[in-house]
Structure 1
């Protein structure tokens, strides 16, 4: 529908140029808001990356700690096994000595 520019003023309608300016202003405001949101999103992403890096460093540190504790636990299990074998051997020797002592007393 063609707009007669002479009637726009007295009908209270904006001219096409005024509508374009208004639309341009709205678009500029929207672009500014989107840029602010984009900056905030980038800052959030940067923060998340920093948190991830810190978490990975802590994970690596704890993995090393667990490896050390695992090695210590394995050494202790071996030591316990050796002590059990030694205790078993000592029990056998003690039983043999008791038997000999029993034979010597019986004579």
Structure 2
């Protein structure tokens, strides 16, 4: 079934129906508004990106500073450990030397007091018979 073009109602003169030109202008305004909104969103996105780039640069700078401080702290720790080891070694040598000196003085005192220096200072325990 085909419709005769003469039977189709012409609505161009009805009230409230936009003409083709009005429809084009309406879509043009909608497109311009959308472009303005997208332009604002793009500007905001660029500002956000710039802010993030700046934050990253600040964080990278702080990270570099902290890495340098950490390296210095590690070097200071290694120096402190080395000094502590040197002090401990020296202290152990001094303790050994003092102990040896005390042993020599004790031996000399025993000799001068008439004791036999290489004899045990403790009396022998009585031997018990084992059965």
TM-score normalised by length of structure 2: 0.74
Aligned to 1:47: 51
2:20 pairs with 1:16: yes
Q: Is 2:52 the counterpart of 1:60? A: no
Alignment of 1:59-78 (within 5 A): 59-78=63-82
| Structure of larger gyration radius | 2
- What are the ranges of 5 or more consecutive residues in structure 1 without an aligned counterpart? none
Q: 4+ runs of 1 displaced by more than 4 Å?
A: none
Flag the structure with more relative contact order, 1 or 2, with Cα contacts below 8 A and sequence separation at least 6: 1
CA RMSD of aligned residues (A): 1.5
Q: Distance in 2 between matches of 1:21 and 1:71?
A: 74
State the match for 1:100 in structure 2.
104
- Listed as ranges, the gaps of 5+ residues in structure 2 are 1-7, 112-131
The count of residues paired between Structure 1 and Structure 2 equals: 104
As a proportion of its length, which structure holds more helix? 1
